[in-house]
Amino acid sequence: MGEFAKIPNHPAVVALGEEVGLQQQVQNMENRVNARLRAMADNQTARLSNSYCTTPHQTLTALVNSTTGEAIDNFPRTPREIKQLNAAEVDRLLQALEKPIEGVIATRRTRLLLAVGVVRELKMAAA
């Protein structure tokens, strides 16, 4: 029984365990890269759709979290909703899209509109 106790510390067993650990790390990294690539593709499609937005009430296509590819909770449905978001919500959305949160609130809202693909100046007073 004494010899069996040494098996977990044998160099071959230790090396095998390290290899399995490295394989798991590589797999995790590959999963994260794939999630980011899917998010990039999904967001590019959503931005293209949103680039046709011409009125403040037009429905936006929601983007996904740039890192995880998961849906962003409470994504604004229209450009008007983006213009009405408070600072904390704007920052939360910008961070989910990996965009900077510096500047005054008006600048950050404009940055968010551009990040979701709204590229035309919208007349927000229009009903």
Note the pLDDT tens digit of each residue in 34-49. Answer: 999 999 999 999 999 9
The per-residue pLDDT for 5 is 67
User: Whole-model pTM?
Assistant: 0.76
Residue 59 lies in a domain: yes
pLDDT at 76: 98
Position 28 scores a pLDDT of 87
In terms of residue numbers, what domain contains 63? 9-116
CA atoms within 13 A on the CB side of 31: 7
**Is residue 109, in this structure, part of any structural domain at all?**
yes
Identify whether 20 is part of a domain.
Answer: yes
1 in any annotated domain: no
Give the 3-state secondary structure of residue 125. Answer: coil
Q: How many domains does the chain have?
A: 1
- Long-range CB contact pairs, 44-48, < 8 A, 24+: 46/116, 46/117, 47/116, 47/117, 48/117
